[in-house]
């Protein structure tokens, strides 16, 4: 297998606005991610980071028009719309949404919320899902016994770990993490970065780490892409981009 794990070619996104206006949010973005690699996607607010990763997941709203190629192990996820991406979403390519740690429902246990997507897919029994939730929590450094706790009983850092656990439920090859450490204090941020590092090494997981914070990204990534107004302005090894 010589092709990269993920190869994004000339990705454009337009959003339909009111009164027939259109906004060209992503303007020809190209980058590749190798197996197990950490790629940082850095840029100011509104530069197109979230739009880019939602496009890779096929999760943009219906007002979006997308062009270009998203090749996952050579297969174009944009070829036939939803039909092309559905079999790979969460199974091969998964994401942690921006603000995910605050998106848990307050009325269900963390364990139930992590299990829900697995049960929805109908591929696992309740017992197997429970076991998998335990494994996933353990993987992200949370005692499996805490599956029965509610989100308010978790710290922000633990909720962020739980959100990462949820994304890993189907053993993806690549994880897209949108601002996973934003809003966490420095110590907890370091713990989440450490976790992502460990997952890369233990699972051979490729990670696209989205952030507006260059030093943070430099800690966990091999290469960095700097975005500005819908384009990648620079792309290179961490040391190269930092200087
Ligand atoms: N659903 C949408 N409809 C219209 N414009 C959008 C939508 N989502 C994002 N945008 C616009 O696209 C640009 C990029 O946004 P985004 O990808 O969220 O940036 P970032 O994640 O880098 O902060 C911004 O100008 C934003 O206002
Ligand atoms: Mg964003």
Q: What is the pLDDT of residues 62-88, one digit of tens each?
A: 999 999 999 999 999 999 989 999 999
202-239 pLDDT tens trace: 999 999 999 999 989 998 899 999 999 999 999 999 99
Ligand nearest to the CA of 44: 1
Residues 179/148, Cβ–Cβ less than 8 Å? no
Predicted confidence band of residue 54 (pLDDT cuts 50, 70, 90): very high
CB of 178 sitting under 6 A from ligand 1: no
pLDDT at residue 22 in the model: 95
pLDDT at residue 94 in the model: 95
Domain positions in the chain: 98-171
Ligand nearest to the CA of 225: 1
b/e per residue, 100-139, with b = 16+ CB within 10 A?
bbeebeeeebbbbbbbbebeeeeeeeeeebbebbbebbeb
103-147 pLDDT tens trace: 999 999 999 999 987 888 777 888 999 999 999 999 999 999 999
Ligand 1: residue of 13, 24, 48, 232 to mutate (most ligand atoms within 8 A of CB) is 48
Query: What is the C-alpha end-to-end distance of the chain, expressed in Å?
Result: 33
- C-alpha 99 – ligand 1 centre gap (Å): 15
- C-alpha 36 – ligand 2 centre gap (Å): 23
Q: Provide the mean pLDDT of the chain.
A: 94
- C-alpha 99 – ligand 2 centre gap (Å): 9
CB of 169 sitting under 6 A from ligand 1: no
Examine the pLDDT at 60 and tell me if it is beyond 70.
yes
133-188 pLDDT tens trace: 999 999 999 999 999 999 999 999 999 999 999 999 999 999 999 999 988 999 99
Minimal-distance CA residue to ligand 1 atom 10: 25
pLDDT at residue 183 in the model: 84
Predicted confidence band of residue 1 (pLDDT cuts 50, 70, 90): low
Please give the Cα distance from 50 to 35 (Å, whole number). 22
Q: Which protein residues have their CB within 5 A of the ion that is ligand 2? A: 49-50
Helix crossing, 126-139 with 110-121: angle to 10°? 130
Please give the Cα distance from 33 to 169 (Å, whole number). 21
Question: What's the order of all strands across the beta sheet hosting 75-76?
Answer: 22-33, 6-16, 64-72, 75-76
Phi and psi for 137 in degrees, rounded to 5? -65, -45
Choice between 1 and 39, residue whose per-residue pLDDT is larger: 39
CB of 45 sitting under 6 A from ligand 1: yes
Strands (E) located in 61-167: 64-72, 75-76, 93-96
What 3-state class would DSSP assign to 237? strand
Q: By percentage, how much of the chain surpasses pLDDT 90?
A: 85
pLDDT at residue 120 in the model: 80
pLDDT at residue 230 in the model: 98
Residues 88/26, Cβ–Cβ less than 8 Å? no
Examine the pLDDT at 33 and tell me if it is beyond 70.
yes
């Amino acid at each position: 297998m010589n092709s990269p794990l993920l190869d994004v070619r000339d990705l454009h996104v337009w959003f339909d606005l009111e009164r027939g206006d259109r906004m060209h949010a992503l303007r020809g973005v190209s980058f590749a991610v190798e197996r197990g690699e950490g790629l940082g996607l850095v840029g100011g607010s509104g530069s197109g980071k979230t739009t880019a990763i939602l496009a890779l997941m096929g999760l943009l709203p219906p007002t979006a028009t997308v062009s270009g190629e998203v090749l996952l192990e050579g297969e174009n996820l944009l070829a036939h719309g939803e039909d092309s991406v559905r079999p790979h979403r969460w199974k091969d390519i998964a994401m942690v949404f921006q603000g995910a740690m605050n998106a848990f429902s307050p009325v269900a246990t963390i364990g139930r919320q992590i299990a829900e997507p697995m049960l929805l897919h109908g591929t696992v029994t309740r017992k197997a899902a429970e076991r998998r939730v335990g494994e996933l929590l353990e993987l992200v450094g949370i005692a499996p016994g805490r599956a029965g706790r509610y989100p308010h009983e978790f710290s922000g850092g633990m909720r962020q770990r739980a959100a990462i656990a949820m994304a890993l439920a189907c053993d993806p090859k690549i994880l897209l993490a949108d601002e996973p450490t934003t809003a966490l204090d420095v110590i907890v941020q370091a713990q989440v970065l450490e976790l992502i590092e460990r997952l890369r090494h233990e699972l051979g997981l490729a990670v696209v780490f989205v952030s507006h914070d260059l030093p943070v990204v430099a800690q966990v990534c091999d290469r960095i892409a700097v975005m500005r107004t819908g384009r990648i302005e620079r792309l290179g090894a961490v040391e190269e981009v930092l200087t």
